[in-house]
Amino acid sequence: MPHEAMVEGEQISKEEAESNGWITAHRKRNADKNRFKHKTHSARQTGAHVGPAKASQLRNVAAASRLPRLPTSHFPVVVRPGGGLDVRTCSQLKVTQAILMAARLPPAAAEENIVCANATQNIFVISTPSESNANAYCKVQEIFLADKKHSYITPPGNTCRGVVRGIDTDLAEPALQSLFVTPRSPMVLGARSIKETPTVIVLFNGMKVLNYVHCGPNMLRCTLYKRQIDTCRNCGRIGHRHDVCPRLTEKVCEKCGTSIIANGHECVQPKCTLCGDAHLAGDRTCKNRYQVPCVVRRRRRKRRKGGHKTKNAMSNAGDR
């Protein structure tokens, strides 16, 4: 992961990064599609080892985490399996049937659904055109294949997120929506607070985060949201979280990454899984903690393409 990932964007805590809820944004996005047309943009498992990860390995994890293109009008629901269920080895058909049973949905109701497995993050993504189906999936807490499942609504495709801080913690979600989602802010699809913190995540339509957003009559500073790279505190690998770890028996020390075979292990010095420095994995000082935001990656690709075109034009002019 390039060092500049620590420069662009706003740092998000683990609690903030794992929060839920974007159904309202999906509803507004689908309603707006009747007036505007949007271009849609949107994996194979790459192994992760215990120990410092190279930049190429971090890039491979990010690339392998990408899913196929899903309809932008759908509601994507992420299902995080627990109890040691391994997405790579389990039957996706049986998991889908178990989720349908737990959500109390007949097979006919899921005919237009799309279920994708993300082996790197050890999750399933269910894309459905029905809001009622999405709500039903979100209520699923356990299925018969494993102990507990956790699911939540993800942002719609071709969107980006910004971070606004200093918002009153006693504001309910409907009040936040009415303050941020207004006719004079057509790019804002939704807003939600992070539990009981003064931080609000704002969802923008398109791939541009505004520097300032309207919150009622106020203009507030908005910074780019940065996604943290998942590191497992159980097996020490990168790419998935500890609550969905498929290797429950491969316990390592979450501070130094040493395999805990005997109970007598004493951690002498912490060692980061991402960069190898002497701090805990994912510490705020880690230079490899965050992925380069999609908005930044697209911007860099455009600059590189523009540079190649300029060089080619100069070369052609010199040949004349």
Q: Is the pLDDT of residue 272 over 70?
A: yes
Contact (Cβ atoms closer than 8 angstroms) between residue 66 and residue 42: yes
Q: Between residues 23 and 223, which one has the greater pLDDT?
A: 223
DSSP-based three-state secondary structure for 109: helix
Confidence (pLDDT) at 91: 82
pLDDT digits (tens, 9 = 90+) for 173-198: 889 989 999 998 889 988 988 878 89
Whether 151 contacts 78, CB under 8 Å: yes
Q: Give the count of beta carbons closer than 10 Å to the beta carbon of residue 310.
A: 10
Reduce the DSSP state of residue 31 to 3 states and report it: helix
Q: What is the pLDDT of residue 230?
A: 78
Record the tokens describing residue 89, joined without a space.
């080895």
Task: Give CA–CA dist 199/32, Å, rounded.
Answer: 26
Domain 71-156 of CATH type 3.90.79.10: no
- List the domain boundaries for the chain: 71-156, 159-224
**Same fold across 71-156 and 159-224:** yes
Residue 196 vs residue 199, higher pLDDT: 199
Q: Which of 63-67, 165-169, 208-212, 255-259 has the lowest mean pLDDT?
A: 63-67
- Calculate the alpha carbon distances from 247 to 68, 145, 252, 272 in Å: 26, 16, 11, 20
* 231, 243 contact by CB (below 8 A): no
* Whether CATH 1.10.287 fits 159-224: no
- The closest alpha carbon to 215, from 260, 252, 162, 139, belongs to 162
Least confident of 33-42, 92-101, 179-188: 33-42
